[in-house]
Amino acid sequence: MELFVDSADVEAIAELNALGVVDGVTTNPSLILKSGRDILEVTKEICAIVKGPVSAEVVALEADAMIAEGRRLAKIADNIAIKLPLTWEGLKACRALSDEGHMVNVTLCFSANQALLAAKAGASFVSPFIGRLDDMNADGMSLIADIRTIYDNYGFRTRILAASVRSVNHMSQAALIGADVATAPPAVIKAMANHPLTDKGLDGFLRDWAETGQKIL
């Protein structure tokens, strides 16, 4: 499963990218607001750091305006994925921009039927929102599983991008189910390396090493 960073924080993205664990980045209007940066400027910086897809979201609501905004965003860099909402107008824009050869990430997906339409409209990625479904006492992971089954049944090439990830458990569950990609905030990605038994084991090793009185360097 590929890991995308869900952030517009250039420093945080660069830090994770330096470890070689970053396959792409997702942004949205809320993350751009949080960054306090101009969308074109910060997106260009991110695209220069990360080789993989960088999702940049349109804000228009009508298909023609979405297409125009999408074309503008696509000019930022070759690795831009135009992010469109999963509405009827968004699907129209998805078909048009996909036919032009652009990567498209269809976002705000909350049902298997929506994901099916996104695939048929030529989306490169579909982004089911796990955390927001969990917030409504629905099972976000069951949606990932349903989409995986549908896409595998019919050979759709649209990639499942698990989004609205809130925890390390979301990450491992998405990988077990077979999501192609999961996008998460930097803090969640870093937390994937943590385990209390790792810390306990390391403490024990260091205590024993100290008793040997030896040095490696």
Q: Which residues are catalytic?
A: 83
Which residues are 57's β-sheet partners? Answer: 83
Angstrom CA distances, 114 to 65, 98, 110, 184, stand at 21, 17, 7, 22
Angstrom CA distances, 168 to 79, 182, 189, 208, stand at 27, 11, 7, 31
Radius of gyration for the chain, computed over Cα atoms and rounded to the nearest angstrom: 20
